Amino acid sequence: MTETRVPIPTLERLATYLRVLLDLNEGGVETISSQEMEHYSGISAAQFRKDLSYFGEFGKPGVGYSVPQLIECIERILHIDQEQPILLVGAGNLGAALVGYPNFRAHRFRIAAVFDNNFVKIGRPFGELVIEDIARLKEVNAQIGAKLAIIAVPASAAQTVADMLVEAGITGILNFAPTVLKVPPHVFVRNVSFLQELAVLSYHVAEGTEIAQPTGGHRDCAI
Amino acid sequence: MTETRVPIPTLERLATYLRVLLDLNEGGVETISSQEMEHYSGISAAQFRKDLSYFGEFGKPGVGYSVPQLIECIERILHIDQEQPILLVGAGNLGAALVGYPNFRAHRFRIAAVFDNNFVKIGRPFGELVIEDIARLKEVNAQIGAKLAIIAVPASAAQTVADMLVEAGITGILNFAPTVLKVPPHVFVRNVSFLQELAVLSYHVAEGTEIAQPTGGHRDCAI
DNA sequence: TAGATTGTTAATCGATTAACAATC
DNA sequence: TAGATTGTTAATCGATTAACAATC
């Protein structure tokens, strides 16, 4: 096999396929064709087959794919075949939503520790965990050995937290803070931005509605 | 101007530029070059200029861009120059995190109503709002006239909620439920999937770590 | 004017789609 | 065998990057 780089969109879709497959598996479905996957996932059959082709051959021509086997394979590919410990930084509303998120378990993600810098919160229970002092992050992760972390703190604190996470051996960060993190090249960051998503929607729902109105600037916003 | 379709990634980046510009404006910065924007946003200067070019001309050659003017223009483009009412469905942990999210205000998004189907919750206060009966969704939105909504309910309820939202005149949905929504073509959906993001990170942090292990299936997962 | 930086065009890159030979 | 569906190749499409003439 040639060393082809896997496109990020392919990895994202893999998670969608897995979700569909887990549902089908619950329902006792044993085999699925790429055509059927298109129906359930909204992703084209050709795309599905192409995505899988980056990792090997998983189907039988004329038959389709074994649901349980494909689940196993995708879980292996995404390295969620074993439980993945995750550090959560920020014990606010968003953090609470995340520790209570029921779907993590099905994908074998486990929030293994929660940190905050607010001494009023430190030591308090948080879901099934106890909030730890952010200062102990490196020390605690020496035990846990997590590679993944979630940043759920205000934008003003996010970079400092990111630096501490990198220092503690984290190499993948899911960032909810609306800011651009600077990290070393071996660390991967994915940003979740509600504002960005809403902005894109806002543009679309208003399309065709706009009234061109000069600002009085040196040039109009020609929209 | 020719009728060029604006790429979605361009719209996403627009929100990032806006965030940077708002920060700079706070700091009293009056002018910014595309080069400086690259530094602050991590997005290349060429990309920045190209992105803006879909909407008009906003800079002065040899000088750069006026920060306040560009803020105004981007807000106009994204249609967040006026307050945008948003319906929130789902008064759980995630919903609580969203109504309490401080950054919405800066982008003039306002959660105008919260709905749930749990009669224990209906009528209770939720942030500064009171939880409404989901059955009253259409009725309530007849007053509010929101075009945008956020789905923060379990996957099992998401499609039903989406149908009700469409019925109530919503044309843009931010979906937090891990499921593929079926909506009419005039309705735009953006999905936020923590699991998907974590899966992509999980793949990356584990790269190079993998041990090829046959499953005993008809063919190995060749990863 | 000289220096800086824009807006745009052309070249590159990468991802998606379509088509089909191989295979069950 | 005939019918179905895969995995892969080639064609298409779209987005990013680089380069530069126009402009302040």
> A181 and A96 in one domain?
yes
> B58 and B112 in one domain?
no
Q: Has residue B186 been placed in a domain?
A: yes
Does nucleic acid strand D have an atom less than 7 angstroms from the CB of A44? no
Does nucleic acid strand D have an atom less than 7 angstroms from the CB of B49? yes
Q: Has residue A123 been placed in a domain?
A: yes
Q: Which residues pair with A130 in a beta bridge?
A: A125
3-state DSSP call for residue A50? helix
pLDDT at B196 over 60: yes
> A131 and A93 in one domain?
yes
Note the CA–C1' distance, A155 to C15, in angstroms: 33
Average pLDDT over residues A72-87: 95
Average of per-residue pLDDT values in chain A: 91
Region of poorest pLDDT, from A110-119, A142-151, A203-212, B155-164? A203-212
| Predicted local confidence at residue B47, as pLDDT | 98
| Predicted local confidence at residue A105, as pLDDT | 87
Does nucleic acid strand D have an atom less than 7 angstroms from the CB of A52? yes
Which positions in chain B touch A80 (Cβ < 8 Å)? 199, 202
> B164 and B63 in one domain?
no
Nearest chain A residue to B15 by CA distance is A196
| Predicted local confidence at residue A4, as pLDDT | 65
Q: Has residue B141 been placed in a domain?
A: yes
> A139 and A108 in one domain?
yes
**In angstroms, rounded to a whole number, what is the distance separating the alpha carbons of residues B7 and A172?**
28
Q: Which nucleotide shows the minimum CA-to-C1' distance to residue A63? A: D5
Average pLDDT over residues B175-198: 95
Residue A159 is inside which H or E element, if any? helix A155-167
pLDDT digits (tens, 9 = 90+) for A84-136: 999 999 999 999 999 999 889 889 999 999 999 999 999 999 999 999 999 99
> A49 and A94 in one domain?
no
Q: Which residues pair with A172 in a beta bridge?
A: A148, A188
CB contact under 8 A, B12 and A200: yes
3-state secondary structure labels for all residues of chain B: CCCCCCCHHHHHHHHHHHHHHHHHHHCCCCEECHHHHHHHHCCCHHHHHHHHHCCCCCEECCCEEEHHHHHHHHHHHCCCCCCEEEEEECCCHHHHHHHCCHHHHHHCEEEEEEEECCCCCCCCEECCEEEEEHHHHHHHHHHHCCCEEEECCCHHHHHHHHHHHHHCCCCEEEECCCCCCCCCCCCEEEECCHHHHHHHHHHHHHCCCCCCCCCCCCCCCCC
Which positions in chain B touch A22 (Cβ < 8 Å)? none
| Predicted local confidence at residue B215, as pLDDT | 37
Confidence of residue A222 (pLDDT cuts 50, 70, 90): very low
> A175 and A114 in one domain?
yes
pLDDT at B30 over 50: yes
Average of per-residue pLDDT values in chain B: 91
Does nucleic acid strand D have an atom less than 7 angstroms from the CB of B46? yes
Note the CA–C1' distance, B184 to C21, in angstroms: 38
Q: Has residue B169 been placed in a domain?
A: yes
Nearest residue: Cα versus C1' of C3: B62
**In angstroms, rounded to a whole number, what is the distance separating the alpha carbons of residues B73 and A220?**
8
| Predicted local confidence at residue B105, as pLDDT | 87
Nearest residue: Cα versus C1' of D23: B61
CATH number where A167 lies: 3.40.50.720
Q: Has residue B19 been placed in a domain?
A: yes
pLDDT digits (tens, 9 = 90+) for A21-31: 999 999 999 99
Note the CA–C1' distance, B8 to C10, in angstroms: 23
CB-based contacts of A61, cutoff 8 Å, min separation 6: none
pLDDT at A189 over 90: yes
- The residue from B20, B43, B77 where one domain ends is B77
Q: Has residue A216 been placed in a domain?
A: no
Residue identified by tokens 């392919």 is: A10
Q: Has residue B158 been placed in a domain?
A: yes
pLDDT at B138 over 80: yes
Neighbours of B99 (CB within 10 A): 18
CB contact under 8 A, B97 and A92: yes
CB contact under 8 A, A221 and B190: no
Average pLDDT over residues A32-61: 97
3-state DSSP call for residue A183? coil
> A91 and A192 in one domain?
yes
Own/partner long-range contacts of A186-193 (Cβ < 8 Å, ≥24 apart): A188/B201, A188/B204, A188/B205, A189/A162, A190/B197, A190/B200, A190/B201, A192/B192, A192/B194, A192/B197, A193/B15
Taking every pair of Cα atoms in chain B, the longest distance, rounded to a whole number of angstroms, is 65
pLDDT at B217 over 50: no
Give percent above pLDDT 90 in chain B. Answer: 87
Q: Has residue B204 been placed in a domain?
A: no
pLDDT at B216 over 90: no
Nearest chain A residue to B208 by CA distance is A79
| Closest of A108, A127, A86 to residue B93, by C-alpha | A127
- The residue from A55, A77, A99 where one domain ends is A77
| Predicted local confidence at residue A221, as pLDDT | 58
CB contact under 8 A, A93 and B96: yes
Q: How many residues does chain A have?
A: 223
Nearest residue: Cα versus C1' of D15: B7
> A97 and A50 in one domain?
no
Q: Which nucleotide shows the minimum CA-to-C1' distance to residue A218? A: D24
**CA distances to A41, A103, B150, B151, B178 from B156, in Å:** 15, 12, 16, 12, 9
**In angstroms, rounded to a whole number, what is the distance separating the alpha carbons of residues A171 and A197?**
25
> B90 and B189 in one domain?
yes
Average pLDDT over residues A63-90: 96
CATH number where B32 lies: 1.10.10.10
pLDDT at B74 over 70: yes
Q: How far apart are the first and last CA of chain A?
A: 48
To the nearest 10 degrees (0 to 180), the angle between helices A45-53 and A8-26 is 110
pLDDT at A6 over 60: yes
Task: Give the gap in angstroms from C-alpha A136 to the nearest C-alpha of chain B.
Answer: 23
Size of interface A-B (CB pairs under 8 A): 241
Total domains present in chain A: 2
> A90 and A41 in one domain?
no
| Predicted local confidence at residue A106, as pLDDT | 86
Domain that holds residue A35: 8-77
- Surface-to-core class of residue A149, CB atoms within 10 Å of its CB (0-12 exposed, 13-18 middle, 19+ buried): buried
Region of poorest pLDDT, from A102-116, A134-148, B199-213? B199-213
CB contact under 8 A, B221 and A73: yes
Closest by Cβ to A196, choosing from B12, B215, B219 = B12
- The residue from A62, A77, A92 where one domain ends is A77
Does nucleic acid strand D have an atom less than 7 angstroms from the CB of A58? yes
pLDDT at A151 over 90: yes
> A73 and A88 in one domain?
no
Closest by Cβ to A199, choosing from B107, B178, B203 = B107
Closest by Cβ to B217, choosing from A8, A69, A220 = A69
Average pLDDT over residues B23-33: 97
